[in-house]
Chains A and B, each alone.
Chain A
């Protein structure tokens, strides 16, 4: 379980960055996984791609 202050800070920053709530949720899921077990490269990659799918960046707007 992540520290409450960390979760609150993450949610606030994601909002400030104009990103969807799913970004915060997926980052929290990733951090939770990392806190509970040693993640291998494949695990990290999967969690990273989950977050990427939720992100909205400049290239997406251009496309």
Chain B
């Protein structure tokens, strides 16, 4: 891919209002120099060029946006537009800074695909080259080359990472890590060891569940056996007692009485339980309290999800439910007021509760008393039946004891055996009741839980948790593996690309520094030179520019190199050597220079790039007013704030005094 910088326009910003077009007769010159005295906005121009091309200003804070507003500027907006040629197809991006609201917006013009788009939108193929990391490589100040060789900085590594797009490996790896962290946030167990502990606990639960189920089956079998044994033994005792004339009649009567009393207790219990289901019948005060509760619940509320439709349909009816005509005013009023009556879903439950209280509780005082009297009568009746049952049991027991005391040893043995069996039966029935019951949910020790249903519930929960954690642990393993692959890939790719770049740079350096041999030993954060600890300014710039252009041209890509003050810090001799190599290193060089860089740098550059464009830009101020008289006829343009002169001779003779530089009105 080849990217050329066609030019830029600025308006209402800290840098002067100007339109720079670098083309000459439709072609992009290899070298363009824009002479801008100090204070003309070189740094601002490059910052805006970077922000415009990268789209980075989208997230600028308001104060940063307003920082680009020119002093005393009344316009509410500033604009910076950069135009590129991407493989000879134009692409313009405009950054608009809204100073009033402290916001930015973009406009992209891409005649080849989609025309004008009201946002930063560049073709996917160009996207990566306009990323901020990448742009900083070809829009930079002259000192960037020094940084590339500075062992304390890692600019060379950063350049390689940007070129190879190794930052993508980091970006994707960071997403994997972030995704895992978010997914596992709610999980307390995240490791394989933790999962193993859960599986062991689940297995113990399953084992206990199985042994309890087994115990239940055995207990039920045992109950069956006990019933037979008790029945058989009871039969023998009955036969024995009824075979004796002296006690037969009394025994039969007592047994009958016991059976009747037991039936009465059963019936009384059932009736009382049914009556107690009406809480207001338990005590007269309970009914009064329920009515108070009803009166304090929300009034006139409907569940929104089921009732909103009612109001929607009502307003479409000819008449309201009150019988009045449904006119526009009524429709509007109903729609507005409907919101007052609509509530969450539990409004339906509350309405049901209120309805039940009204139906069952809110009755006359007399009826309320009747309900309570019924419960009291039933409770009294049950008490009597219980006492009757107890008396009957005592009579039966007394008859048996009487016979045993009279010397019936066999009966004594059977009775003792019967009592043991009945005790066993009670124990086994209690065990069954525990196993089949709901259990104590508060019991945290699973080995003490007897309820099968509670164990089943805990087993199910454990299975669910294990499934969930298995997925979490798997996700962790996968995330870690992805990150390992990506980080090792970065190391390997970086080493390979550095080796290739060193080879490429050395081949270029052998040509451009033929009389001043210099070899790059390696790239380790910064560029390391073979056989020398440091380098002269000229060597540094030569190596830096060579490295940068090797990086930028990797993959057959050609990019412009836009530099602020490219030769400012170097002496005349070095300037000449650097200027001589620049045209051979890049397809387009754009330098924002000051007049002191002309000597040695600009003239040499012109020798090696005959189509060099010379532009001079200065602000219109009281201090520069004298310059307006000396402008070349037909070779300049003026705006409200600046003068742009497109003339080689003017470029060379342009000079400013200190006071003119200071009076830049920024």
Which A residues are within 8 Å of any B CB, using their own CB? 1-6, 8-10, 12-14, 16-17, 19, 23, 27, 30-31, 34-38, 44-45, 47-48, 51-52, 55, 57-60, 63
Chain A residue contacts of B496, Cβ below 8 A: 5, 8-9
Cross-chain pairs A/B with CB under 8 angstroms, 17 sampled: A2-B165, A5-B493, A10-B489, A13-B488, A16-B488, A17-B484, A23-B485, A27-B485, A31-B169, A35-B127, A35-B168, A44-B172, A47-B172, A52-B478, A57-B474, A57-B478, A63-B470
Assuming A6-B489, A45-B179, is B481 touching A17 (CB within 8 A)? yes
A51 to B554, CA, bound (A): 29
Chain B residue contacts of A44, Cβ below 8 A: 172, 175, 179
CB <8 Å contact, A6 and B164: yes
CB <8 Å contact, A31 and B165: yes
List 10 additional contacts besides A16-B488, A44-B172; criterion CB under 8 Å: A1-B555, A3-B165, A13-B492, A35-B168, A36-B124, A48-B179, A52-B475, A57-B481, A59-B474, A60-B474
Report the minimal beta-carbon distance from A46 to chain B, rounded to whole angstroms: 11
CB <8 Å contact, A5 and B164: yes
Chain A residue contacts of B492, Cβ below 8 A: 9, 12-13
CB <8 Å contact, B477 and A3: no
Q: Interface centre among A2, A5, A44, by most B CB within 10 Å?
A: A5
A29 to B563, CA, bound (A): 35
CB <8 Å contact, B124 and A37: yes
Selected from A8, A31, A36, the residue in CB contact (under 8 A) with B172 is A31
Report the minimal beta-carbon distance from B496 to chain A, rounded to whole angstroms: 4
Chain B at the A interface: SS class: helix
CB <8 Å contact, A35 and B165: yes
CB <8 Å contact, B489 and A13: yes
A5 to B125, CA, bound (A): 19
A19 to B482, CA, bound (A): 11
Chain B residue contacts of A2, Cβ below 8 A: 165, 168
CB <8 Å contact, A37 and B474: no
In the complex, what residue of chain A is closest to B125 when comparing beta carbons?
A36
Selected from A8, A17, A47, A57, the residue in CB contact (under 8 A) with B485 is A17
Chain B residue contacts of A4, Cβ below 8 A: 555
Chain A residue contacts of B555, Cβ below 8 A: 1, 3-4
Report the minimal beta-carbon distance from A24 to chain B, rounded to whole angstroms: 8
B:477-524 near A, CB below 8 Å: 477-478, 481-482, 484-486, 488-490, 492-493, 496-497, 500
Report the minimal beta-carbon distance from B495 to chain A, rounded to whole angstroms: 9
Number of B interface residues, CB 8 Å? 37
In the complex, what residue of chain A is closest to B484 when comparing beta carbons?
A17
CB <8 Å contact, A36 and B128: yes
In the complex, what residue of chain A is closest to B473 when comparing beta carbons?
A59
Chain B residue contacts of A6, Cβ below 8 A: 164-166, 169, 489, 493
Which B residues are within 8 Å of any A CB, using their own CB? 124-125, 127-128, 163-166, 168-169, 171-172, 175-176, 179, 192, 470, 473-475, 477-478, 481-482, 484-486, 488-490, 492-493, 496-497, 500, 554-555
Assuming A5-B493, A6-B166, A36-B124, is B481 touching A55 (CB within 8 A)? yes
Report the minimal beta-carbon distance from A33 to chain B, rounded to whole angstroms: 10
Chain B residue contacts of A38, Cβ below 8 A: 127
A49 to B484, CA, bound (A): 17
In the complex, what residue of chain B is closest to A35 when comparing beta carbons?
B128
CB <8 Å contact, B192 and A58: yes
CB <8 Å contact, A3 and B493: yes
CB <8 Å contact, A19 and B485: yes
In the complex, what residue of chain B is closest to A2 when comparing beta carbons?
B165
Selected from B127, B166, B179, B477, the residue in CB contact (under 8 A) with A57 is B477
CB <8 Å contact, A58 and B493: no
Chain A residue contacts of B481, Cβ below 8 A: 17, 19, 55, 57
Chain A residue contacts of B490, Cβ below 8 A: 9
Selected from A5, A12, A14, A59, the residue in CB contact (under 8 A) with B477 is A59
A36 to B485, CA, bound (A): 21
A1 to B555, CA, bound (A): 10
Report the minimal beta-carbon distance from A30 to chain B, rounded to whole angstroms: 6
Report the minimal beta-carbon distance from A22 to chain B, rounded to whole angstroms: 13
In the complex, what residue of chain B is closest to A6 when comparing beta carbons?
B493
Chain A residue contacts of B165, Cβ below 8 A: 2-3, 6, 31, 35
- Lowest 3 CB-CB distances: which A-B pairs, in order? A9-B492, A9-B493, A57-B477
In the complex, what residue of chain A is closest to B55 when comparing beta carbons?
A38
In the complex, what residue of chain A is closest to B165 when comparing beta carbons?
A35
Chain B residue contacts of A35, Cβ below 8 A: 127-128, 165, 168
A10 to B490, CA, bound (A): 8
A17 to B470, CA, bound (A): 22
In the complex, what residue of chain A is closest to B477 when comparing beta carbons?
A57
In the complex, what residue of chain A is closest to B175 when comparing beta carbons?
A44
Report the minimal beta-carbon distance from B505 to chain A, rounded to whole angstroms: 16
Chain A residue contacts of B128, Cβ below 8 A: 35-36
Chain A residue contacts of B489, Cβ below 8 A: 6, 9-10, 13
A31 to B128, CA, bound (A): 12
A19 to B490, CA, bound (A): 18
In the complex, what residue of chain B is closest to A43 when comparing beta carbons?
B175
Selected from A3, A5, A27, the residue in CB contact (under 8 A) with B486 is A27
Chain B residue contacts of A12, Cβ below 8 A: 492
A55 to B483, CA, bound (A): 12
Q: Interface centre among A9, A16, A51, A60, by most B CB within 10 Å?
A: A9
Chain A residue contacts of B172, Cβ below 8 A: 27, 30-31, 34, 44, 47
In the complex, what residue of chain A is closest to B120 when comparing beta carbons?
A38
Chain B residue contacts of A14, Cβ below 8 A: 485
In the complex, what residue of chain B is closest to A1 when comparing beta carbons?
B555
Assuming A13-B492, A17-B485, A31-B172, is B192 touching A5 (CB within 8 A)? no
In the complex, what residue of chain A is closest to B180 when comparing beta carbons?
A48
A58 to B166, CA, bound (A): 28
In the complex, what residue of chain B is closest to A54 when comparing beta carbons?
B478
Chain A residue contacts of B125, Cβ below 8 A: 36
CB <8 Å contact, B485 and A13: yes
CB <8 Å contact, B168 and A34: yes
CB <8 Å contact, A34 and B171: yes
A36 to B482, CA, bound (A): 21
A4 to B484, CA, bound (A): 20
Chain A residue contacts of B124, Cβ below 8 A: 36-37
Report the minimal beta-carbon distance from B173 to chain A, rounded to whole angstroms: 10
Chain B residue contacts of A23, Cβ below 8 A: 485
Chain A residue contacts of B164, Cβ below 8 A: 3, 5-6
Chain A residue contacts of B497, Cβ below 8 A: 3, 5
Report the minimal beta-carbon distance from B199 to chain A, rounded to whole angstroms: 10
Q: Interface centre among B473, B474, B492, B493, by most A CB within 10 Å?
A: B493
CB <8 Å contact, B485 and A31: no
